[in-house]
C-alpha cells in the first residue's frame, strides 16, 4: 500500500487550508471508500486529512426545509426525515450494509466513485482512473453500466442512492473552498463524462461539502425510493427510482422522478415528469410515465434489460405513493 500521512483538523477553515494547496491531499471521514481506493491504487494520495471532528453533524428540520450536515449520522432514523422525507430515509436504508452505514457520512456518500469493475481493477484500461488509457467497459461486460448520459470515453454509473433521492427533492449542496462558500443544486454537482470522465464533479480540489439543504416542498412527504439489485442487501442498484408527487384533488400538480444505476449522475426523468403532471395518478398515467422515463436510452450489449426495468420500476415506485 502506498504510504500516506494522516492528520486531523477541528475547523472547516483549517481543513480547506490543508487540502486545497496539495494535489495529493484528500479528506477522509467514514473511510469506507477513500482507504480502499488508496490501498488498491485507483487514486494516488500522499496525505489524508481526517475531518470527523468538524462541527458538521447536525440534522435540522424547519419551516424552510431540512438541513443535513455533511457528517450527520444515521439521518434515516431521524423522526422528521422518516415522516416528511420518506424517499430520503428509504434511500439511505437501501445503501450498503448496517456496518457500512454506521460509518457513513452524507458528504462522503455523494462523492463516492463508480463501481465500474474496470475502474476498480487497475489491470484494465479506464479513462476515468487514467485519462486517455481507454475504456474496458465499452466492449467488455457492461451489464452494470449506463444507458443514459454516457460517452465514447466512459459509460460508468454513479452509485449513490442518497444522491438520487436528493435529486428528487431539489436538494442543494453547500460547500466551502479556498474561494469561499458555494451553494450547488445537486443536479449541477456531477459532470457527464464527455471527453473528460476523470472530472467527475464541479468541485475544485479542496472544496469541502459542508452540508445539504432540502427545501420544503409539497411533494417531499409523498415520496418513495425503489431499488432493484442483484441481491436484497449490500448491492448497488441495477436501476433505482426516486419519486415525489404533489397530488391535489386527484390530479398530479407537480412531481419529481429521478433514476439511479443508469447514468453517470443521478438522472432526472423530465419526460416522465411531464407525462405525469396534470394527470390523475392511476395505472395508465404510471405506465405512460415509465415509458417516458425509458425513452432516449442508449443501452449497450449487456444492459438492454435496463430499459424495460426503468419502465416498470418507475410505474411501480409511483404505485407506492398512492392514487
CA 106 to chain centre: 10
Nine-digit cell string for 132: 486517455
Sort 290 into a burial class: Cβ within 10 Å, 0-12 / 13-18 / 19+.
buried
- Minimum CB separation of residue 157 from ligand SF4 in Å reads 9
- Minimum CB separation of residue 89 from ligand SF4 in Å reads 30
Q: Which is nearer to ligand SF4, 77 or 133 (CB)?
A: 133
Q: Which is nearer to ligand SF4, 123 or 231 (CB)?
A: 123
265 near ligand SF4, rule: CB under 6 A: no
Among 68, 70, 116, 289, binds ligand SF4 (CB under 6 A): 116
Q: Which is nearer to ligand SF4, 86 or 149 (CB)?
A: 149
Helix residue ranges per DSSP H, the chain: 12-19, 34-40, 79-84, 86-93, 98-103, 106-110, 117-120, 136-139, 161-168, 186-189, 270-276, 283-294, 305-319
Q: Which is nearer to ligand SF4, 119 or 236 (CB)?
A: 119
Cα gap 256→90, rounded to integer Å: 16
128 near ligand SF4, rule: CB under 6 A: yes
Among 61, 136, 159, 299, binds ligand SF4 (CB under 6 A): 136
Cα gap 144→136, rounded to integer Å: 13
Q: Which is nearer to ligand SF4, 183 or 305 (CB)?
A: 305
Residues 183-212 that bind ligand SF4 (CB under 6 A): 197
Q: Which is nearer to ligand SF4, 45 or 138 (CB)?
A: 138
127 near ligand SF4, rule: CB under 6 A: yes
Q: How far apart are the first and last CA of the chain?
A: 55
Cα gap 243→192, rounded to integer Å: 22
Cα gap 156→250, rounded to integer Å: 39
- Minimum CB separation of residue 124 from ligand SF4 in Å reads 7
- Give the binding-site size for ligand SF4 (rule: CB under 6 A): 15
Nine-digit cell string for 118: 474496470
Those residues with Cβ within 8 angstroms of residue 51's Cβ, 6 or more apart along the chain or in another chain = 9, 15, 27, 28, 29, 71, 208
- Minimum CB separation of residue 129 from ligand SF4 in Å reads 6
- Minimum CB separation of residue 248 from ligand SF4 in Å reads 42
137 near ligand SF4, rule: CB under 6 A: yes
Buried b (16+ CB within 10 A) or exposed e, 71-91: bbbebbebeebeebbbbbbbb
x/- contact string, 144-163, with ligand SF4 (CB under 6 A)?
A: -x--------xxx-------
Which of these segments, 46-54, 75-83, 120-128, 225-233, binds ligand SF4 (CB under 6 A)?
Answer: 120-128
Largest CA distance in the chain: 62
Cα gap 318→223, rounded to integer Å: 8
Which of these segments, 66-74, 91-99, 133-141, 232-240, binds ligand SF4 (CB under 6 A)?
Answer: 133-141
263 near ligand SF4, rule: CB under 6 A: no
**Cell 438522472, located at residue:** 267
Residues that bind ligand SF4 (CB under 6 A): 114, 116, 118-119, 126-128, 135-137, 145, 154-156, 197
Amino acid at each position: 500500500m502506498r504510504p500516506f500521512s494522516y492528520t486531523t483538523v477541528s475547523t472547516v477553515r483549517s481543513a480547506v487550508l490543508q487540502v486545497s494547496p496539495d494535489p495529493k491531499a484528500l479528506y477522509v471521514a467514514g473511510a469506507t471508500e477513500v482507504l480502499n481506493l488508496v490501498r488498491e491504487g485507483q487514486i494516488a494520495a500522499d496525505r489524508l486529512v481526517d475531518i470527523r471532528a468538524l462541527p458538521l453533524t447536525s440534522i435540522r428540520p424547519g419551516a424552510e426545509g431540512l438541513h443535513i450536515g455533511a457528517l450527520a449520522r444515521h439521518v434515516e432514523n431521524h423522526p422528521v426525515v422518516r415522516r416528511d422525507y420518506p424517499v430520503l430515509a428509504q434511500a439511505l436504508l437501501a445503501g450498503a450494509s448496517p456496518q457500512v452505514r454506521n460509518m457513513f457520512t452524507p458528504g462522503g456518500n455523494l462523492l463516492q466513485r463508480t463501481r465500474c469493475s474496470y475502474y476498480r481493477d487497475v489491470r484494465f484500461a479506464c479513462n476515468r482512473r487514467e485519462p486517455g488509457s481507454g475504456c474496458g467497459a465499452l466492449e467488455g461486460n457492461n451489464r452494470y453500466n449506463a444507458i443514459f448520459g454516457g460517452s465514447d470515453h466512459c459509460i460508468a454509473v454513479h452509485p449513490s442512492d442518497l444522491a438520487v433521492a436528493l435529486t428528487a427533492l431539489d436538494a442543494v449542496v453547500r460547500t466551502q473552498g479556498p474561494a469561499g462558500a458555494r451553494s450547488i443544486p445537486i443536479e449541477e454537482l456531477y459532470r457527464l463524462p464527455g471527453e473528460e470522465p476523470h472530472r467527475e464533479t464541479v468541485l475544485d480540489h479542496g472544496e469541502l461539502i459542508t452540508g445539504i439543504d432540502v427545501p420544503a416542498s409539497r411533494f417531499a412527504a409523498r415520496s418513495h425510493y425503489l431499488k432493484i439489485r442483484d441481491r436484497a442487501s449490500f448491492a448497488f442498484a441495477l436501476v433505482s427510482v426516486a419519486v415525489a408527487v404533489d397530488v391535489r384533488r386527484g390530479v398530479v400538480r407537480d412531481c419529481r422522478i429521478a433514476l439511479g444505476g443508469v447514468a453517470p449522475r443521478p438522472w432526472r426523468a423530465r419526460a416522465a415528469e411531464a407525462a405525469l403532471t396534470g394527470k390523475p395518478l392511476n395505472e395508465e398515467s404510471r405506465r405512460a410515465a415509465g415509458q417516458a422515463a425509458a425513452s432516449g436510452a442508449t443501452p449497450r450489449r449487456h444492459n438492454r434489460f435496463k430499459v424495460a426495468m426503468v419502465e416498470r420500476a418507475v410505474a411501480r415506485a409511483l404505485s407506492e405513493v398512492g392514487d
